[in-house]
Amino acid sequence: MHRKDNAYLQSLKRQAMRAGLDLYGLSTHQTFLSPKPEVRKANIAITIASIELAYSLGIPAMRVNTGRWGTSKDFDDLMAHRGIEPPLPGYKDEDGFPWVIECFEKCLPTAEKCGVVLGLENHWGLARTPEGLMRIYKAVNSPWLGVTFDMGNFLEDPYTKLAHIAPAATHVHAKTYYGGGVWYTLDLDYDRIVGILRKVNYRGRVSLEFEGKEDPKTAVPKSLAVLRKAFRYA
C-alpha cells in the first residue's frame, strides 16, 4: 500500500465494485517472535493498523503470521533450509509461544470491533508445523482468530498436516507452480486437498497463489481451470 489515506482507500473500493471484484483478504506480515518487548509492541501496532486498513477497505479476513526468529540470512536462505530456522542464541522455540499468543490476544479487540477475522497461516516460524499452529490457535481460543490454510507451505507429508489444520480454516490459499516454483515445486493432489476441505465442510474463500516461473497470462488461467475442476465448478 503506497497510500493509506481514506480517499485513496475508498477509490480502491469503488474500482473493485465497478470491476465486479470482492476485496475479501488482506495479506500482512508481522513478527511476534522476538524476546524484545518493544519489538512485539511495535508489531502489535502494525497489526492493529492493518486490521483498521482492512476495515476501511471492507475486507473481512486478514492473513497473519507468527513471524520468524530472523536468524536466516534472507528468505532465500530460509527456503534453502526447507523453512527451518534456528532460534536466537539462548532461546528455544518453546520460549516464543507465550509471546505470540499474548500478541494475538492484544490484537483481537480491534479485530472484533472491525469485524475482521485474523487467519494464522502455516507460514514458517512457530506455525511451520501443524502442532505449533494449532497450539496458538487453541490457546487464543477466539472466533476472531482462525487459520489461513496454505496448500503449499507444508513441504513434507502435506496431506496429513493439512488435515490437521483444516477444521480451523477460515481462508484457503491454493498454490500452483507452472514453469517450476520460484523457491520449490510441489506436485499437489488438488482433488485430495479439496476432499480434506469438504470433509470439514469448508465453505469459505479460495484464492490462487501462483508461485511458478511461467508467464502469469498463461499460468493463471491454467491454474484456475485445475482448481475449478477440483472443486467441481468446471
CA separation for the pair 57, 9 (Å, rounded): 6
pLDDT value, residue 2: 85
pLDDT value, residue 233: 76
**Torsion region of 141: left, alpha or beta (phi above 0 gives left; psi -120 to 50 gives alpha):** left
Q: What are 49's three cell numbers? A: 493498523
CA distances from 188 to 50, 157, 199, 204, 224 (A): 32, 11, 18, 20, 14
The residues spanned by each domain of the chain are 24-230
Residue 93 near residue 126 (C-beta atoms within 8 A): yes
Please name which of 35, 95, 102 lies closest in space to residue 70, comparing C-alpha atoms. Answer: 35
Helix (H, G, I), strand (E, B) or coil at 161: helix
pLDDT value, residue 1: 80
Is the four-CA dihedral 220, 221, 224, 225 of positive or negative sign? negative
Residue 179 near residue 213 (C-beta atoms within 8 A): yes
pLDDT value, residue 234: 54
CA distances from 167 to 2, 154, 163, 218 (A): 36, 16, 8, 33
Please name which of 208, 199, 147, 204 lies closest in space to residue 173, comparing C-alpha atoms. Answer: 208
Tell me which long-range contacts 218-225 makes (C-beta under 8 A, separation of at least 24).
Answer: 218/178, 219/176, 219/178, 219/179, 222/176, 222/178, 223/174, 223/176, 223/178
CATH architecture under which domain 24-230 falls: Alpha-Beta Barrel (3.20)
Spans of the chain below 50 pLDDT:
none
The phi, psi pair for 145, rounded to 5°, reads -125, 115
